[in-house]
Amino acid sequence: MTSYYPPISYIVPPSEDGWLLKTILQKRMDVSRKLLSRLKMTDLGITLNGERVYISVKVSTGDLVQIRMEEETSEDILPQPIPFEILYEDGHLLVVSKAAGMIVHPTHGHYTETLANGVVHYWAEKGERVRFRPVHRLDQETSGVLVIAKNPYSHQHISEQMIAGTVDKRYTAFVHGVPALPSGDIDGPIDRDPLEPHRRIVTPDGYPSLTRYEVKEVYGSAASRVELKLESGRTHQIRVHMGSVGCPLIGDGMYRHPLYGQAAGSRAEASAPGEERRAGEPAVIAGGEEQQVQELAVTADGAAQQVQELAVTADGAALPPGDAARLAQIAELDASIPRQALHAVRLAFRHPVTHAELVFEAPLPPDMALLQEKLRQSAR
């Protein structure tokens, strides 16, 4: 026997007397063509006053129109008792505060220990048959508010709001340096880096991308806290855009401050083939820069030591004193947090069924709160 989620209902007002049922479904209940096709194929998918009818019939004032979706499960996701923080839940939505380090959905090489595994287990324990449908994603190391739809109708409606730009997504980030203006827009097309496809870059041929920012707190010239609002949803958008204006995120191991590359390049140039290096000093040659840079900023003490070694090359050449000092400061900050300092602090949208305005907020997680305190103390 087919099991359904609770019905979504609509009562026909006098102004719509005589309309086609199809028009009510598409124009008033906002059922997409794809979902409408699925509903037509199920016994109780579409009913008028409790009766299954063709969508070509006309409705009358006071008629009860209902749609019902078949229950589904994520059979390809292994249920695991993984804890996660719930901000809100009803029959249509689950809103959570995702922890840093947690992958949202199983991917190649990461089939377990994801948010999806935990959510599927949670629903199974409650006796609910629900498929895991995240409406959007957060990077593995980004924490904060995430919404998950519990049926196709909810997923469609919130997705459409995101496409229309009516969802308010705000992030808090701690960045190196201070943006040139206290607020502004970063309008830079984003696409894959042809040399490193897992990375993204700002490029004229990329997809339109817009990030609005506002500086909320400044810590001398070393760093600042910014609030960001996404007007588009490209992969790594905030990380790429902030890096493009010279303020990369603190702790970001993929989109690092350009001074790391300058220091590595300086050493590579000085350590040309045939030249002697100091005892124990690692060689950095073309193609080895990324490996050397990744070794930086493992711990606060280790970061400072490695930066000093990187800044001074084998023949005594060095970065300019100001840049060397700045690089040491950057590395120390990067070592203060084990991931990019980015948190999805706020998400606001319209409920897909009740149409009520929903606002969800998640306070800074402990690692970012500690970083904020460190920055405040260093700026005194």
Residues annotated as catalytic (active site), given as ranges: 139
Question: How far is 244 from 188, CA to CA, in rounded Å?
Answer: 9
- The secondary structure of residue 296, as a DSSP letter, is S
CA 370, distance to chain mean position in Å, is: 22
- CB 283: neighbour CB atoms within 10 A? 13
Query: What are 95's strand-pairing partners?
Result: 88, 147
- H or E element, residue 329: helix 321-334
Tokens 């598409």 correspond to: 26
In our burial notation (b when 16+ CB lie closer than 10 A, e otherwise), range 8-35 reads: bebebeeebeebbbbebbeeebebbeeb
- Give me the DSSP letters along 129-163: ----EESS---TT-EEEEEEESSHHHHHHHHHHHH
Task: Show the DSSP H helices in 62-132 as ranges.
Answer: 115-126
Question: How far is 194 from 276, CA to CA, in rounded Å?
Answer: 35
